[in-house]
Amino acid sequence: MPKKRSVKIISLLVLLTFFSCLFYGCSKDNDNTAKASKPESKKTADVIRLAGGNYGYLSPYAHYPRGPGSFKMRLIFDSLLEKDEKGYIPWLAEKYESKENGKQYLFTIRDNVKWHDGKPLTAEDVKFSFKYACKHPMVSSSISQNDIEKVEIVGDRQVLVTVKKPSAVMLGNLGTTRIIPKHIWENVDNPKEFLDEEAVIGCGPYILTDYSKEHGTYRFEAFKDYWGPKQRVKVIEFIPVSEAILAFEQGEIDMTSVTPDVLPRFENDPQYKIVESPAFWGYRMIFNMGETPVFRQKEFRQAICYALDKDDLIEKVQRGAGVPGSAGVLPPGHIMYNPNVKQYDHSIEKAVELLEKLGYDKLKNGVRVNSKGEKLSFNLLVGGEVRLAEVIKEHLGKAGIEINVQSVDGKTRDARVNENKYQLAITGHGGWGNDADYLRERFSDDTTSSGSISPNMARFKGYSKPELSQLLEKQFETIDENERKKQIFEAQELLAEDVPEIALFYTISYYVYKPEKYDGWMFMFDHHSLEHSKLSYLERD
């Protein structure tokens, strides 16, 4: 963890309680800034500009499946529920209720909601969206035909969804599915290839008015007939920048993330506000156990854990802005985090001891080999994480494990991982604060309803543990929150013992912006990025 600074920083820590004290309005001034006159905090803006990048065409079926793509799409398309700092809140559904012990969900749809083309949104659109998403899973949807038994319209504005079996995550999965207009999509047979202008007609607060794939630029304008909270920002633009911090200082963009070593440039200047993010973005190392037999041995994976110095990784790669990865996968800020799981304190001695017990008790040119002459030499696939990979190579080398770093672009890395074309790989992504059911999607053999954001990582890595699978499937079906928490705690203990993947560290980001330009930013309860919250751009009660 980086040292706490007596500066003007909003410390937004995710607590282990039910997000009761999250994030908002806890800034403090140091003596230097208190003496200086503060600029007026502005809650509206005509135009906000942020760093761009190409994340695909922003239909629910065509955007790139990472946070920046999903976030931009959600400015256009609304869902029945939305996320604020504490949890889910009613959105297109003005109210909702669970019935029949979680077997049914009744949503009452708001009146006077319009699509961007002026047509009214009806309960028929909601019914259609669920059925279409089951047949054609959306990029950022977690429902499939395995989840929903039937969808009925039971009143002018009421939709009743009957699920095949109750689950702890079903309300969130249904509530965050994007609602799409039936009159546009009902005749679309291949939604991934549907890239017409009509494909980005939603009912959300913003209309996509310009997109350049080549330059990675997007322009959003406030939808004048939006049903919901008034837009605080009239226009949102994402523009290409070569160096984000310099672009921010020159006024080209209005907010940026900075590393701890850059903070002093902004700390004592009252025109800036600095916000610390929750540690819900992180890096992990994954093993292709199907292709490399030694990876299937728990003791080998434990040896890797001992050989890695996570504090050193954070210091050298993140300049101290991070939290060591938990052997139980869930980060310390997660509501379901088990603080008592086994952790692997850095110890080359313990790593070597385990490797020798596995028969790798000889060294040849600094690399451990067994009696058959098989050496511990592996390829490590990375995207842009070359520095991280080099430090890992250094750590494992001290235990006699040779690492050959293979660096490709991020999209190629993702594709190769999904196709099982790797030995070891490092991936970095957000979503670590999401519902703990992602443990099931990663590690259960029995997963049948994991959405379409990513494949079931348990399958493509060749890992199988029936006891863990049964437990993760059980928590999925458990409605009682306290009982479910016990199950997830136990699952973390099994993961910490087996280490089918290694959570390296969760990053802490610092965001800097000028309140006099715009000061409406906020986090979602389970996410790390200020600009990814739709509510950052809308009026709040």
pLDDT at position 537, please?
98
75, pLDDT greater than 50: yes
Distance CA(263)–CA(508), nearest Å, equals 13
pLDDT at position 142, please?
80
CA angle 274, 277, 280 (to 5 degrees): 165
pLDDT at position 38, please?
65
pLDDT band at 4 (very low <50, low <70, confident <90, very high): very low
Work out the widest C-alpha separation in the chain, in whole angstroms.
Answer: 75
One fold for both 53-204 and 281-507?
no
Amino acid at 301: R
**Superfamily per CATH, domain 53-204:** Dipeptide-binding Protein; Domain 1 (3.90.76.10)
Tokens 């989840």 sit on residue: 147
Distance CA(513)–CA(194), nearest Å, equals 37
pLDDT at position 277, please?
87
C-beta of residue 434 within 8 angstroms of C-beta of residue 528: no
pLDDT tens, residue by residue, 305-351: 999 999 999 999 998 999 999 999 999 989 999 999 999 999 999 99
291, pLDDT greater than 90: no
pTM of the model: 0.76
Give CATH for domain 281-507. 3.10.105.10
C-beta of residue 462 within 8 angstroms of C-beta of residue 453: no
pLDDT at position 34, please?
34
Average pLDDT over residues 397-420: 95
pLDDT at position 146, please?
87
Q: Which residues pair with 286 in a beta bridge?
A: 425, 501
pLDDT band at 461 (very low <50, low <70, confident <90, very high): low
Q: Which residues pair with 282 in a beta bridge?
A: 429, 506
β-pairing, 93-99 vs 104-109, is antiparallel
Domain boundaries along the sequence of the chain: 1-45+223-273+511-541, 53-204, 281-507
C-beta of residue 156 within 8 angstroms of C-beta of residue 123: yes
β-pairing, 104-109 vs 158-163, is antiparallel
**Among 129, 132, 130, 111, which residue's Cα sits nearest to residue 121?**
111
CB 189: neighbour CB atoms within 10 A?
7
